[in-house]
Chains A and B, each alone.
Chain A
Amino acid sequence: MELSNQSITSLRQQLISGDVSSTDIINSLAHAIETKDAEIGAYISHDFDAAQQDAKTADLTLPLGGIPIAIKDNINVKGHPCSCASHFLEGAYTSPYDATVIQKLRSAGAILYGRTNMDEFAMGSTTENSALANTVNPHDITRVPGGSSGGSAAAVASHSAIAALGSDTGGSIRQPASYCGVVGLKPSYGRVSRYGLVAFASSLDQIGPITQNVEDSALLLNVISGGDPADSTSLDQSEVDFTERLNDGVSGMKLGLPKEYFGDGIDPAVRDKVNESIKKLEAAGAEIVEISLPHTEYAVATYYIIAPAEASSNLSRFDGVRYGNRVDDPREIIDLYRRSREQGFGPEVKRRIILGTYVLSSGYYDAYYNKAQKVRNLIKQDFANAYKKVDAILSPVTPSVAPKIGADKDNPLQQYLADIFTISANLAGICGISVPCGEITADSNSQLPVGLQILGPHMGEQTILKIAKTVEDLTQTK
């Protein structure tokens, strides 16, 4: 098997035994990208010359020694461009520092060689909002890979990345992972430092791994998690080896099915796959119970107030003054701001900044933003009540399989509504993972993957990884 098709865990064993070198892996990966990426479009940039140098000096005794990891293009890697797939930063910004997750990957021996495509500033769920590249779904190139971490998911799914980092503000790791048939983990808020992640919605953003399997996800979480003085919202945490208890199984666990997540509006074929998977977990010894998350119907509205509000504030830093592209011949400073932002931002980013500015504006603040904050807490309480009864919650990741390219391009509200199963985890700050649970035949006769979402309590990653590993073993399509 090609080296680029293999998991981190498998490659690490071969590196340690001396059967392969890190240079072999980099060569295999470079070849895979060269042959596939013109069609898939997962990458915005890569640099294999530097990666080859790093491969020669890789310390194989480290946990990720010699392993190349792809990075979503909104995470700062010192000396590399970081475009956020936006014209605003294209060709006009080189990171002057490493994000904390990047420092941690480097310290663990990983090799950083390439940057993956995404929706501009992580706003979107198809990667069609990228201003710089078109990414397609490796399972059916007429369909989207999902988003916003669509490049990371498509790279891993097409075996043009061994593993990747993404970021998840409302489902941006789990949803593309589901559409592309790979494993995507959104850690609990505070589990992973956000320092060096270009902020979209700071109270919701979290960096996480997108991998070929659950063990690699656990391994990457081991490396990137931990408290960080540079991010005051990160949490000090006891050192846990997330790979250690992956094979403990689900016997005796109580798993909840929220009745609000299994109503109308789910593609019946998706529902069948998810239900099959739930039955397998039950057969493996888990007790399945129905639960209620009563404020679910308000989650999308709450999210699309809070996330744009925070985005409008965070993206005010892109003003054409300190970094990024500045408009030519500004008449005065306000003109410089206005036209630099007009030229630099794409439509979805403008829409969300305007929406966020509106809900924060005087006269509307209480009706929208303040109210949304309170409803957010009700959603958080729903989950806290649920976790008194169950160890984890199961649901679909999305109501359907990957849509066709261009399907909802002019109807942003329709796209927002499809986020229903993923956004609550961000609002509540809990952890969630998407794990492949089967494939269904689409109209074009392509086999499209379906993901099962497992939501765990805050800092409950060990539990959801264990359940995900069981699902993977029971599904075992790879």
Chain B
Amino acid sequence: MSSDRTEQIDVRYVANLARIELSDEECTVFQKQLGAIIGYIDTLKDVNLDTVNTENLDAVEDTELREDISRTSLNQDDLLRNAPESAKGQIRVPKVVDA
């Protein structure tokens, strides 16, 4: 197993990309745990793909597309019932665009 790579990930920076607020305590714990996990997944660097034919190694196989026809969607009232805040048939959020 590769050594821990705690220096490699800046947990607070990546958590910000993922839109997750972290406490200082969580940040410290995750820094250590994720460092160990990244140290481990770094073992993939040992796989030599130069000798492997990677031409047909696309992960996503072809999937069929459906006909482009409109279908009944879910009921608006049912969907709005799950919204934390709604008004006038729409979901309410804090102001997004400055005037």
Chain A residues within 8 Å of B, Cβ to Cβ: 92-94, 96-97, 203, 229, 232-233, 295, 297-298, 300-302, 304-305, 312, 316, 319-326, 330-339, 341-342, 345, 347, 350-351, 353-359, 361, 367-368, 371-378, 410-413, 416
Contact = CB atoms under 8 A, between A and B. Distances in A.
Contacts of A301: 40-44
B44 A371 contact: yes
Nearest to A304: B41
Contacts of B94: 330-333, 335-336
Contact of A298 (B16, B47, B66): B47
B85 interface: yes
B21 A96 contact: no
A357 B14 contact: yes
User: Top 6 A-B pairs ranked by shortest CB distance?
Assistant: A326-B84, A96-B78, A342-B21, A323-B82, A377-B57, A373-B59
Nearest to B52: A378
16 contacts: A316-B19, A324-B82, A332-B95, A332-B96, A333-B93, A333-B94, A336-B94, A338-B21, A350-B26, A358-B9, A367-B45, A372-B44, A378-B47, A378-B52, A411-B33, A416-B40
Contact of B44 (A96, A320, A350, A368): A368
Q: Which residue, of A325, A334, A336, A413, has the highest number of chain B Cβ atoms within 10 A?
A: A413
Contacts of A331: 94
A229 B14 contact: no
Contacts of B9: 358
Contacts of B59: 203, 373, 376-377
A412 B60 CA distance: 29
Max chain A C-beta neighbours (<10 A), residue from B29, B58, B83: B83
B26 A371 contact: no
B21 A339 contact: yes
A413 B36 CA distance: 7
Instruction: From B16, B18, B56, B74, name the one whose CB has the most chain A CB atoms within 10 angstroms.
Output: B18
Contact of B93 (A312, A321, A347): A321
Interface in B54-99: 54, 56-60, 63-66, 74-75, 78-79, 81-85, 91, 93-96
A415 B31 CA distance: 17
Contact of B96 (A232, A333, A339): A333
A374 B54 contact: yes
Contact of A305 (B41, B49, B63, B74): B41
Q: Which label, helix, strand, loop or mixed, suits the secondary structure of the B interface?
A: loop
A368 B41 contact: yes
Contact of A338 (B19, B23, B79, B81): B19
B37 A416 contact: yes
Given A96-B81, A347-B30, A354-B20, 11 more contacts: A97-B78, A232-B63, A233-B63, A298-B44, A298-B47, A331-B94, A339-B21, A342-B20, A354-B34, A355-B37, A410-B33
B41 to A, nearest CB: 4
A298 B20 contact: no
Contacts of B49: 371, 374-375
A367 B9 CA distance: 14
B27 to A, nearest CB: 10
B37 A302 contact: no
A139 B75 CA distance: 45
B26 A347 contact: yes
Most buried by A among B33, B41, B56, B59: B41
A92 B21 CA distance: 21
A34 B82 CA distance: 30
A341 B21 contact: yes
A326 B85 contact: yes
B22 A342 contact: yes
A301 B21 CA distance: 27
Contact of B37 (A94, A304, A332): A304
A300 B2 CA distance: 14
A353 B17 CA distance: 10
Nearest to B43: A301
Nearest to B49: A374
Contacts of A97: 74, 78
Contacts of B96: 332-333
Nearest to B18: A357
Given A93-B82, A301-B41, A367-B45, A345 B66 contact: no
